[in-house]
Amino acid sequence: MPTILGPTLTTDRLILRPPVYADFEAWVAFAADPEVNRFLGGVQDRAAAWRGMATITGAWPLMGFSMFSVIERTSGRWVGRLGPWQPEGWPSTEIGWGLAREAWGKGYALEGSSAAIDWAFAELGWKEVIHCIDPQNVPSQNLAKRLGSTLRGPIQLPPPMDTWPIEVWGQTKEQWGIHRRNSVLTTGE
C-alpha cells in the first residue's frame, strides 16, 4: 500500500486524497485528452504527465497541501485532480480543478471543490480562494459562480504561463461562509 502524504476527504460521491503511483495511468489518459486540456495548457505526453503528477504530489510534503486525486467512491476510479494550489509566484491561494471527460456533467467538480474550499479555510487558515480561468472557459466560469466566486479581472500568471489569457475569480473566507449557509438553505442540503 502506498504512503498517502496528506489527508483524505470524503464527500457523498467522492474520495479526495493526495496522488499515489496507482493513479498514473489514468493521469496519463487525462493529460492526453485534447478537450480536457484545452484550457489546462494543452495535451501532454506520458513524460510530461509524469512530471505534472510528480509536481502536484511533491507539493504535499513541501507545503502541506496540494491538489487531491479525485476518486469515485462507487467505482474506485480516478476521475481527476482538484484542490489547493499555490506554486512559487502564484497570485494567491487557489482552488483549481480538472476532471477527466467521463466525469463531466456529474457535479463532481462542485462537490469536490466545495470540500477542498472548506478544508483550505478550516485547516490551512486561508483567508481567500481564487480560481484562475481562461476567459473562454465558460464551464469553469459557471462553476466558479456556483461556488460563490466573482470575477475580479485579468491576471498574469508566472512564466511559462505568463502569455496565457487568464481571469481571476475569487472570494474571501467570510463570503464563502455566507455562500455555504445560503446554499444549504436554498437547496435543502
The tens digit of pLDDT for each residue in 74-87 reads 999 999 999 999 99
Does 3 map to a domain?
no
Task: Count how many domains the chain has.
Answer: 1
Does 138 map to a domain?
yes
Which has the closest alpha carbon to 50: 32, 76, 72?
32
Looking at residue 188, what is its pLDDT?
A: 42
Looking at residue 132, what is its pLDDT?
A: 97
Does 50 map to a domain?
yes
Which has the closest alpha carbon to 78: 49, 42, 120?
49
Does 2 map to a domain?
no
- Burial of residue 185 (CB within 10 Å: 0-12, 13-18, 19+) is exposed
Does 1 map to a domain?
no
Q: Which residues of the chain have pLDDT under 70?
A: 1-4, 184-189
Q: Which domain holds residue 13?
A: 9-187
Looking at residue 187, what is its pLDDT?
A: 47
Is 107:74 a contact under the CB 8 Å cutoff?
Answer: no
Does 4 map to a domain?
no
Looking at residue 165, what is its pLDDT?
A: 93
pTM for the model: 0.93
Looking at residue 189, what is its pLDDT?
A: 43
Whole-angstrom CA distances from 165 to 34, 53, 100, 136, 155 are: 18, 24, 23, 9, 8
Place of cell 489527508: 7
CATH of the domain at 141: 3.40.630.30
Does 67 map to a domain?
yes
